[in-house]
Structure 1
Amino acid sequence: MNSSLILAQATEVDSPTRVTDTGPFFDFGFAVDIFPEIFMAFLKVTLLVTVAGTIIASILGLVIAILIMVLPKPLAWIVKWAANFIRMTPIIVQLIFLFWTFLWLDPIQIGIIVFGIHYATYMSEVYRAGIESVPKGQWEATTALSMSAVRTWRKVIIPQALRSTVPSLGNYAISMFKDTPFLFVISAAEMVTVAQTIGSETFRYNEAITIAGLIFLAASYPTAVLINRLEKRLAYAN
């Protein structure tokens, strides 16, 4: 038997069958069919983790900033070191670590906790800069009025600090939103993971990934515009 014929037959038997997509580059009908599934993943996972994580990060970040400023130096150094450690560790590593440490928690819960704590360390620096920008005369005035420390922070310092920090906090919320695809490492079915799964099952990635990208754009771009306008308005008010 001809050696080339033998080689061809062996190749035909041993090589796996590869399914190729011969359809159009972008099938709008298929895109319409898969849109609800991807959009539900956006609502149930991507948006949920972003909103809940932002709330946690906003509150915890303010607490961290205040603790660093009011605690005795040794304790403040410990808080600052812990914040720096979390901030300098990749969020994907933190997701994997907590996922395998707290096995009883749901992947979405893990995602909310990790994103909230991770971005709280960034927001704490924004809060600290805002607090330090409050004129010293404001602190002196509260002392002259014999205001308590709690009331000073709540009524005078924090409201003024927030005016200069809100735009930066909003930008971190957008960054958190764009980082949610990292949730795939803990098997959370967020939007991009669902899109990739659809693509691997149908061999049509163009439609699925395009839909995910457009949803990201539709959610983040208007938010960025609003933050930019808010920043300009606050600057004008000052």
Structure 2
Amino acid sequence: MEKWRWDRFFETFPFIWDGLLVTIQFTLLGSLVAYVLGLLFAVLRAMRIPVLDQMLWAFIEFVRSTPLLVQIFVLYWLVRPELLGGLSVDAQRLVVGVTALGVHYACYTAEVYRAGIDAVPATQWEAARALSLPRTRTWTDVILPQAVPRVLPALGNYTIAMLKEVPLLSSIVVLDMVYQVKTVYAASSGGAGPEAWFAVGLTFFALSYPCSILVRKVQSRVGAV
């Protein structure tokens, strides 16, 4: 068994830093897509529009039932640079990565939003109808302001989960922390080694643990309201 090498552990962090901003970038952009698209899915499904509701249900179930890694590869093969107006390969990877993460998690956040919408008392809908509020104002002024705060902790948990899924994008050469470390030590005997991967895991822990504390505080605050 090889001896633990502290020098390799500490020398890994500069390479981790090179991919840290990329990891955060994909997490934030993917979360934005997931939150907005998930809310759109939830509202459309709550409206019970014939055919569209069934199509959305089938799409959500399909995405939730297939691996994210497979979805990343399929999008990468389908979304070619020429389809993006001749943009660079880096731009293609950005679009594919953010889209894959965003759409995948939108199918989960949609169900979270639906739970929040269902938790709004029926009297709120009845009051809106009694006041003859248009459907748009009913959603924006009555239902969503009550539904969204209830689901913020769950949304936060999905953001943390997405952060830990970003390394899957290294499969399409997105220069995140995992790809940076794997590439740097590719020529070394035995690859990156446990010291380097422990450093990567420690960095993910340093990012996700404070976020989980924040989510718990939000959850307690929402529960107290």
TM-score, normalized by the shorter chain, greater than 0.5:
yes
Shift of 1:109: 2.1
Match of 1:115? 101
Distance 1:214 1:109 in 2: 28
Structure 1, unmatched stretches of 5+, are 1-20
One-letter amino acid of the structure 2 residue matched with residue 27 of structure 1: W
Moved more, 186-195 or 54-63: 186-195
Distance 1:199 1:216 in 2: 19
SS of the aligned residue for 1:202 comes to coil
Structure 2, unmatched stretches of 5+, are 82-90
Moved more, 112-121 or 187-196: 187-196
Moved more, 227-236 or 105-114: 105-114
1:168 equivalenced with 2:154 (yes/no): yes
One-letter amino acid of the structure 2 residue matched with residue 221 of structure 1: Y
TM-score (norm 2): 0.89
TM-score (norm 1): 0.84
How many residue pairs match? The answer is 214
Match of 2:30? 53
CA RMSD of superposed structures (Å)? 1.7
Given that 2:76 and 2:93 are in contact with CA atoms closer than 8 Å, whether structure 1 keeps it comes out as yes
Match of 1:35? 13
SS of the aligned residue for 1:201 comes to coil
Shift of 1:71: 4.1
Shift of 1:87: 1.5
Moved more, 33-42 or 61-70: 33-42
Match of 1:5? none
Given candidates 203, 220, 223, the residue that maps to 1:232 is 220
Given candidates 218, 234, 238, the residue that maps to 2:206 is 218
Given that 1:198 and 1:205 are in contact with CA atoms closer than 8 Å, whether structure 2 keeps it comes out as no
SS of the aligned residue for 2:169 comes to helix
Shift of 1:43: 0.7
One-letter amino acid of the structure 2 residue matched with residue 86 of structure 1: V
Match of 1:26? 5
SS of the aligned residue for 1:72 comes to coil
Given candidates 136, 139, 144, the residue that maps to 1:158 is 144
Question: Over alpha carbons, which structure has the higher Rg?
Answer: 1
Match of 1:103? 80
Given that 1:195 and 1:205 are in contact with CA atoms closer than 8 Å, whether structure 2 keeps it comes out as no
- Aligned counterparts, 1:70-219, within 5 A: 70-104=47-81, 106-203=92-189, 204-219=192-207
Given that 1:54 and 1:116 are in contact with CA atoms closer than 8 Å, whether structure 2 keeps it comes out as yes
